[in-house]
A and B are shown apart, each in its own frame.
Chain A
Amino acid sequence: MKEGFRQSMSWLHTWGGLLMGWILFFVFLTGTAGYVEAELDRWMRPEKPLVAAEVAQADALALGLRFVQEKMPDARRWLVSPPGGREQPELRYFVEGYPETEGAPGKRQSGFLDPETGEKVAYRATGGGRLLYRMHYRLHYIPTTAGEWIVGFCAMVMFAALVTGVIIHARIFKDFFTFRPGTGHRNWLDAHNLLGVLSLPFHLMITYSGLLFICYLYMAPVIASEYGWGEDNRRAFTDIMFSGRPFDRNTERAAPAPLAPLGPMLAEADRIWGPGNIGFVDITRPGTVAARVRILEGTRRVSGDRAEVLFNGATGAVIDAPAVNPAPRIVSETLLALHEGLFAGPVLRWLYFLTGLVGTAMIGSGLILWTKKRRARLEGRLGFALVERLNVATVCGLPTAVAAYLWANRLVPVDIAGRAAWEANVMFLTWAALAVHAALRPAARAWAEQCWIAAAAFGLVPLVNALTTDRHLGASLPAGQWELAAVDLTCLAFGLGFIVAARIAARGHQRAVQAKEVSPTVQEAAE
């Protein structure tokens, strides 16, 4: 009975993992890139000065607030985030007008400002690291909702694959120390187990919390059962879940009233959190009696929430609106914060990045393991060939496509229309080209060749950067700009890693050829 249980769990693990594995690989790889979103954003905007100017937060904030008031005096919402910390190195603004027709969204604009002059600055149009981060939960080229449904479905299968993986791998801790290199598919099995167990808590957390992020979609009927259908009703729940407070989405024009001076409000925030620790200033319906000024703390915590202070924008008085934060919300918020890792400093961020890569590699090794185990039995069948080719195109092709995205950032002309979209197009065209390559070449060759292509694509990123900008390693290292240099250096490390992988793949290919020449049956027996 026990054996039968493990067998059926093994079946679920194998087939669920295989069928969703390719999408999950994409989700994990782009999600891992999301952990270094800010660093990629900075790298992909080489127009930014090498060393950011030291500006007092209060001065930058004052410039930003003046800018939005002049930009759109009749706005429904002004939002300014001052430079401060890793997460928001820029002085950013966002303005939103009142809807011109009932129900339609108002006009929206956002951009970056020079924190010293308050003038708009123009960087090249780029999706940055942010676009990779977005792809990990909503894919690309398809509507957001469709992408979230697909990713949600895959995440549920991932959840089941993790638990079944633990069940079938009962001697989990003993086997953790088992590694049998050079033993046919067993070394892939060991590698898959090692990678899985190494960061099992992370995988469970990231999958469960990932599902939690899209609960409003996936569990919409549950929420609707108490709150009712429709976006407004749903938000009555999700506003509390995600920020602990209902959010003012009112678009009616209230009676006019001048905005109270912001200076004392900012001073109050500085008094509570210490100077220079403001995350953003969010003003809704300014110039009316209904005006509200929300100021959010800059510091991020593991328990997620940033403190905030709310003011009546017409009188300047503090509105006492304590956050709703009962036990289930703390559980949920902690899971969501762990998923995003925004609180992580440099060391923990590297750990997040590496753990994300381990997860990606676990999925990749599982996909490869499927073919290694079945080669003797299934080689020559169409389905087997399809899996094998999809594996090459995903495990090697997708990372290469991400490298191509970085190349595109440097090589696509700065002034063409739709430039940011073209960066992503280059990424997916590269991926498509590599999929065609994987389909046309013998599988063992395709592995080696694509590893070499990936090695070149990553390894040459610092060179492409040096030839097209003056934000290369020769400049960033002497200036001590590590977040900039880290992107070049990490690409270099990936390049070296793929050289090693290419050599392993080439050796495997040679062994396969030799074994075939000796006797096909011997090789089958060995498998």
Chain B
Amino acid sequence: MSVTSRTRAAVSPLEIIQRTVAAAVGGYGLAWAASVLMARGLPLSRYEAMQWAVLASFLIYLCVILWAFRARPLTRMWGGILAPAAVCAGLAWWVGPT
């Protein structure tokens, strides 16, 4: 089910809400988890790793927003956000603060 289609088939409000929440909240979550992993994982000084992470964070967020409105079905969309977020968060936690 596409968000919009040529015939302007009705999109359920629930789907729109899900995609918006996935983009705004899920996107932030994944951007956060991936950036923290970068900040902790990159073999650089604390400042350098963090600066790269901050630079990357907004680009990651952007990509997740696009994904949230692109991927279908909804389960795949959610999986594509939550799974990498969980992996990144887990790894970041495992690496721990430098």
Instruction: Say yes or no for B30: interface residue by CB 8 A criterion.
Output: no
- The listed residue with most B CB atoms (<10 A of its CB), out of A160, A164, A208, A222, is A222
Q: Which of B31, B49, B62 has the most CB of A within 10 A?
A: B62
In the assembled complex, the CB of A232 is this many whole angstroms from the nearest CB of chain B, namely 16
Determine the chain B residues whose CB is within 8 A of the CB of A222 once the complex forms.
Answer: 32, 35-36, 39, 50, 53-54, 57
Q: Give Cα distance in the complex from A159 to B23, angstroms.
A: 13
The answer to whether B45 touches A326 (Cβ under 8 A) is: yes
- Measured between alpha carbons, how far is A208 from B62 in the docked complex, in Å? 10
Check if B6 sits within 8 Å of A7, measured CB to CB.
yes
A226 touches B58 (CB 8 A): no
User: What residues on B are CB-neighbors of A10 within 8 Å?
Assistant: 4
Centre residue among B2, B47, B49, B53 by max chain A CB count within 10 A:
B47
The answer on a CB contact under 8 Å between A4 and B54 is no
B54 and A212 contact, CB distance less than 8 A: yes
In chain B, what residue has the closest Cβ to A208?
B58
- Determine the residue in chain A with the shortest Cβ distance to B62: A159
B54 near A226 (CB under 8 angstroms)?
A: no
In the complex, whether A482 has a CB less than 8 A from a CB of chain B is: no
A residues within 8 A CB of B46? 226-227
Given contacts A12-B65, A164-B66, contact A225 B40 (CB under 8 A): yes
Instruction: From known contacts A11-B69, A156-B61, infer whether A237 and B4 are also in contact, taking CB-CB under 8 Å.
Output: no
Closest 9 CB pairs of A and B: A328-B51, A8-B3, A225-B36, A222-B35, A12-B69, A4-B2, A328-B52, A160-B65, A11-B3
Residues of B within 8 A of A (CB): 2-6, 23, 31-32, 35-36, 39-40, 44-55, 57-59, 61-62, 65-66, 69-70, 72, 92, 97-98
A149-165: which have CB < 8 Å to B? Answer: 156, 159-160, 163-164
Q: Which residues of chain B have C-beta atoms less than 8 A from A435's C-beta?
A: none
Q: How many CB-defined contacts (below 8 Å) exist between A and B?
A: 106
Q: Any chain B CB within 8 A of the CB of A219? A: yes
Q: Chain A interface mostly helix, strand, loop or mixed? A: helix
One digit per residue, 1 when the CB lies within 8 angstroms of any chain B CB and 0 when it does not, for chain A 1-39 equals 001110111111000000000000000000000000000
Complex CA distance for A219 and B55, rounded to whole angstroms = 10
Chain A proximity of B27: nearest CB distance (Å): 9
Q: How far is the CA of A327 from the CA of B49 in the complex (A)?
A: 11
25 contacts between A and B (CB under 8 A): A4-B5, A8-B69, A12-B65, A156-B62, A159-B62, A160-B65, A160-B66, A164-B66, A208-B58, A218-B58, A219-B54, A222-B32, A222-B39, A222-B54, A222-B57, A225-B92, A226-B36, A326-B48, A328-B51, A328-B52, A328-B55, A329-B48, A331-B51, A332-B51, A332-B55
Nearest opposing residue in chain A for B34, CB measure: A222
Tell me the complex Cα distance, A402–B65, Å.
Answer: 34
Chain A residues positioned under 8 Å from B35 (CB to CB): 219, 222
Residues of B within 8 A of A215 (CB): 54, 57-58
Chain A residue contacts of B98, Cβ below 8 A: 226
Chain B residues whose C-beta falls within 8 Å of the C-beta of A11 in the assembled complex: 3-4, 69
- Assembled-state Cα–Cα distance A240/B50 (Å): 11
Beyond A11-B4, A212-B55, is A327–B48 a contact (Cβ under 8 Å)?
Answer: yes
Out of B44, B45, B62, B92, which one reaches A163, CB within 8 Å? B62
- For A331, the chain B residues whose CB sits under 8 A away are 51, 55
| A211 near B58: Cβ-Cβ < 8 Å | yes
Closest partner residue, chain A, to B58 (CB atom): A211
| Shortest distance between the CB of A196 and any CB in chain B (Å) | 17
Q: How far is the CA of A284 from the CA of B65 in the complex (A)?
A: 45
CA distance A398 to B48 in the complex (A): 42
- Listed in ascending order, the chain A residues whose CB lies under 8 Å from chain B are 3-5, 7-12, 156, 159-160, 163-164, 208, 211-212, 215, 218-219, 221-223, 225-227, 237, 240-241, 324, 326-329, 331-332
- CB proximity of B24 to chain A, nearest CB, Å: 8
On whether A8 and B2 interact (CB within 8 A), knowing A215-B57, A219-B35, the answer reads yes
A435 to chain B, nearest CB (A): 27
Return chain B residues, CB-CB under 8 Å to A332.
51, 54-55
* A11-B4, A160-B66, A328-B55 given; 16 more Cβ-contact pairs under 8 Å: A4-B5, A7-B3, A7-B5, A12-B69, A219-B31, A219-B35, A222-B35, A225-B97, A226-B39, A237-B50, A326-B44, A326-B45, A326-B47, A326-B48, A327-B48, A328-B52
- A8 B57 Cβ-Cβ under 8 A: no
CB-CB nearest in chain B for A5 = B70
Chain B residues, Cβ within 8 Å of A163: 62, 66
Minimum CB–CB distance for B85 against chain A, Å: 13
A12 and B4 alpha carbons, distance in the complex (Å)? 10
Bound form: Cα–Cα A9–B47 in Å: 36
A-chain residues with CB within 8 Å of residue B49 when the two chains form the complex: 226
A4 CA / B59 CA spacing, docked (Å): 23
Nearest Cβ distance between residue B58 and chain A, in whole angstroms?
A: 5
- Counting chain B CB atoms within 10 Å of each CB, the highest count among A10, A12, A223 belongs to A12
- Rounded to whole angstroms, the CA-CA distance of A324 and B47 in the bound complex is 9
Alpha-carbon gap, A240 to B46, bound state (A): 11
Is A7 in contact with B54, judged by CB distance below 8 angstroms?
A: no
Residues in A neighbouring B69, C-beta threshold 8 A = 8-9, 11-12
A7 touches B53 (CB 8 A): no
Which chain A positions have C-beta within 8 A of B92? 225
